[in-house]
């Protein structure tokens, strides 16, 4: 039997594509690699969407996107189509809530869905089931035979072949594939953790590239934040993040500072710290703070190391106490008094220190002292397949690769380059899921 549309991947991009194609009357099969309990891919870890609106004009979103790195060729289209996303979500059963605690600054630009990403996935599965989309769990796609007899064939790991008039690839990046990361990062990749789901090993992406798809995006492009070094290898998600950095002094394994912890408001800077830590020896860094600021940020999941003095804290974290003491002494001496205010770019800064701490710089002097080891935690990689404005996968000559479409993280390299803007991953999934689903249905 030949399906009208087979969607590979059950995250938000895949679900939106399946629903959109089914609403155009097509017979749709969605292949979810995980079992039912862990369905939804990286969408399970999301909580909001950043979309243009009357309060947040497309031009402002565009400017914010440009602020985190040079946008890709399809970024402008994504920004413009983002305005349709919230209404589409509401129409498909999504409920909304006020911005979560600690995210009030995102209230104008980002819309938070009730219960977060797994609730979103459950809602879309309900909607898809009501429409008659078929779903197969535990379905691992190993290859695509493009333009075989009767369309494209999707090959499953058991050898089964599914015929499809059109295929939408929404199977994410390759962040859970350590060998693939090593190609671009070398041994440093061994020090990375994966915040996203363990299923995203890039099999479908690799198959598309082997079948002649052109690439889009940078090899080292990824959304990566600094997370607790004790987080699991895969699938740690939001709970492993750490918001202490602007309130702390961050040192590397040699006990030395390496980047301005107070460069900008945390929501604008949180996404560069994964890359910052990735560049340090051993891909590890240590955030150190004291009793004055301990309750200024969300409590860390595993709790911090605590000691009555800095040398003892350094010892607990496996750092050289003398090196840490010297760094903190130099830092404390450079701190100039100011009016401490975490809600704005305040005037608490260091003077004559390299690198500086430009805001929220307070001396580290009030016991007990706290510290946590950080590692880069990758959410998703950007290197993917090149697509056109109808989400058709293109080959190196710019010609469509049969009737294969792509949506979500697997094509995010057409939009993002190096930086990340909170909530934009869900926006990409929805905008391109819809474009791909509707195009695959026509």
Partner 1 sequence: MTGELSAGALFAEAGRQLTVCNACRYCEGYCAVFPALELRRALTEGDITHLADLCHDCRACYTACMYAPPHEFAIDPPAVLSAVRRDTYDRYLPRLPAGRATTIAVTGLGALVILAACATAGGTSAAVPGSPYRVIGYPALLAAAGLAIAWGLAITGWAARRYWRDTGGRATLAGLAAAAGQAATLRNLRGGGADCAYPGDEPSPWRRRLHHLVAGGFGLCTASTVAAAVSQDVLGDPPPYPVLSVPVLLGVLGGAGLTAGCAGLLRLRSRSDPYRTDGLMSSRTRSLLLALLVLSVTGLLTLLLRGTVAFAPVLVIHLVAVTACFAIAPYTKFVHVIFRFLALVHDRSEAGLAD
Cβ atoms of 235 and 34 within 8 Å: the answer is: no
Least distance (Å) between residue 44 CB and partner 1: 4
b/e sequence 197-216, b meaning 16+ C-beta within 10 Å: bebbbbbbbebbeebebbeb
Least distance (Å) between residue 292 CB and partner 1: 15
**Judged by CB under 8 A, does residue 298 bind partner 1?**
yes
Q: Could you tell me which stretch among 13-21, 94-102, 211-219, 308-316 binds partner 1 (CB under 8 A)?
A: 94-102
Total site size for partner 1, rule CB under 8 A: 34
- Bridging pattern class, strands 384-385 and 215-216: antiparallel
Question: Please, which of residues 368-407 interact with partner 1 by CB under 8 A?
Answer: none
**Judged by CB under 8 A, does residue 95 bind partner 1?**
yes
**Judged by CB under 8 A, does residue 237 bind partner 1?**
yes
**Judged by CB under 8 A, does residue 301 bind partner 1?**
yes
Closest CB to partner 1 among residues 278, 372? 372
Least distance (Å) between residue 366 CB and partner 1: 17
**Judged by CB under 8 A, does residue 91 bind partner 1?**
no
Closest CB to partner 1 among residues 123, 381? 123
**Judged by CB under 8 A, does residue 116 bind partner 1?**
yes
Closest CB to partner 1 among residues 45, 359? 45
**Judged by CB under 8 A, does residue 38 bind partner 1?**
yes
- CA 356 → CA 83, 263, 314, 336, 350, distances in Å? 39, 9, 22, 11, 6
3-state helix vs strand vs coil in the chain, percent to 5: 35, 25, 40
Task: Work out which of 148, 150, 282, 303 binds partner 1, going by CB under 8 A.
Answer: 303
Token pair for 66:
């440009």
**Cα separation of 308 and 281, whole Å?**
27
Q: Could you tell me which stretch among 44-52, 170-178, 206-214, 254-262 binds partner 1 (CB under 8 A)?
A: 44-52
**Judged by CB under 8 A, does residue 44 bind partner 1?**
yes
Question: Please, which of residues 120-139 interact with partner 1 by CB under 8 A?
Answer: 122, 126
**Cα separation of 103 and 110, whole Å?**
9
- CA 415 → CA 110, 247, 387, distances in Å? 18, 32, 10
**Cα separation of 313 and 327, whole Å?**
14
Closest CB to partner 1 among residues 240, 280? 240
Least distance (Å) between residue 94 CB and partner 1: 10
Q: Could you tell me which stretch among 97-105, 163-171, 326-334, 370-378 binds partner 1 (CB under 8 A)?
A: 97-105
Closest CB to partner 1 among residues 153, 199? 199
Cβ atoms of 32 and 10 within 8 Å: the answer is: yes
Query: In 3-state terms, what secondary structure has residue 57?
Result: coil
Least distance (Å) between residue 291 CB and partner 1: 13
Look up tokens 């809530």; give the residue.
97
Least distance (Å) between residue 232 CB and partner 1: 6
Q: Could you tell me which stretch among 12-20, 34-42, 163-171, 341-349 binds partner 1 (CB under 8 A)?
A: 34-42
Of 182, 180, 39, the closest CA to residue 119 belongs to 39
Give the HSE-up count for residue 353: Cα atoms under 13 Å, Cβ half-sphere: 27
**Cα separation of 242 and 371, whole Å?**
11
Token pair for 239:
């709970």
Q: Could you tell me which stretch among 41-49, 181-189, 246-254, 310-318 binds partner 1 (CB under 8 A)?
A: 41-49
**Cα separation of 135 and 3, whole Å?**
12
**Cα separation of 166 and 8, whole Å?**
11
Task: Work out which of 295, 339, 352, 397 binds partner 1, going by CB under 8 A.
Answer: 295
Query: In 3-state terms, what secondary structure has residue 31?
Result: strand
**Judged by CB under 8 A, does residue 22 bind partner 1?**
no
Closest CB to partner 1 among residues 169, 238? 238
**Judged by CB under 8 A, does residue 102 bind partner 1?**
yes
Closest CB to partner 1 among residues 231, 349? 231
Task: Work out which of 241, 357, 375, 392 binds partner 1, going by CB under 8 A.
Answer: 241
User: What phi and psi, each to the nearest 5 degrees, are found at residue 322?
Assistant: -65, -40
- CA 258 → CA 264, 317, 371, distances in Å? 16, 18, 17
Cβ atoms of 363 and 213 within 8 Å: the answer is: no
Provide the binding-site residues for partner 1, judged by CB under 8 A: 37-38, 40, 44-45, 47, 95, 97-98, 100-102, 112, 114-119, 122, 126, 232, 235, 237-241, 295, 298-301, 303
């Amino acid at each position: 039997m030949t399906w009208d549309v087979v969607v590979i991947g059950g995250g938000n991009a895949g679900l939106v594509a399946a629903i959109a194609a089914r609403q155009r009357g097509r017979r749709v099969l969605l292949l979810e690699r995980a079992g039912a309990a862990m369905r939804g891919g990286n969408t399970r870890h999301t909580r909001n969407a950043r979309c243009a609106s009357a309060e947040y004009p497309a031009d402002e979103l565009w400017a914010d996107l440009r602020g985190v790195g040079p946008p890709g060729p399809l970024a402008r289209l994504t920004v413009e189509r983002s305005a349709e996303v919230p209404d589409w979500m509401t129409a498909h059963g999504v409920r909304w809530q006020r911005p979560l605690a600690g995210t009030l600054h995102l209230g104008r630009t980002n819309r938070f869905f009730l219960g977060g990403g797994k609730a979103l996935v459950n809602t879309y599965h309900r909607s898809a089931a009501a429409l008659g989309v078929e779903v197969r769990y535990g379905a691992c796609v190993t290859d695509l035979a493009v333009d075989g007899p009767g369309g494209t064939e999707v090959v499953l790991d058991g050898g089964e072949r599914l015929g499809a008039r059109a295929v939408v690839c929404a199977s994410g990046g390759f962040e859970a594939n350590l060998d693939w990361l090593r190609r671009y990062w070398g041994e440093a990749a061994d020090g990375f953790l994966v915040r996203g789901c363990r299923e995203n090993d890039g099999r479908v992406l690799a198959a598309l590239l082997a079948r002649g798809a052109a690439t889009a995006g940078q090899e080292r492009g990824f959304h990566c934040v600094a997370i607790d070094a004790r987080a699991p290898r895969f699938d740690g998600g939001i709970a492993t993040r750490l918001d202490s950095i602007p309130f702390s002094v961050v040192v590397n394994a040699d006990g030395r500072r390496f980047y301005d912890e107070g460069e900008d408001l945390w929501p604008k800077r949180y996404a560069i710290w994964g890359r910052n830590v990735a560049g340090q020896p051993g891909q590890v860094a240590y955030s150190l703070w004291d009793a004055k600021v301990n309750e200024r940020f969300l409590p860390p999941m595993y709790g911090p190391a605590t000691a009555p003095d800095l040398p003892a804290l350094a010892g607990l974290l496996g750092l050289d106490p003398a090196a840490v003491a010297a760094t903190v002494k130099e830092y404390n001496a450079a701190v100039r008094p100011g009016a401490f205010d975490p809600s704005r770019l305040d005037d608490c800064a260091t003077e004559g220190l390299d690198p500086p701490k430009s805001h929220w710089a307070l001396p580290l002097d009030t016991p007990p002292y706290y510290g946590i080891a950080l590692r880069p935690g990758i959410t998703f990689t950007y290197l993917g397949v090149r697509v056109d404005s109808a989400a058709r996968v293109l080959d190196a000559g710019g010609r469509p690769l049969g009737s294969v479409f792509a949506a979500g993280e697997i094509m995010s390299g057409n939009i993002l380059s190096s930086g990340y803007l909170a909530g934009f991953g869900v926006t990409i999934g929805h905008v391109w899921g819809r474009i791909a689903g509707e195009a695959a249905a026509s």
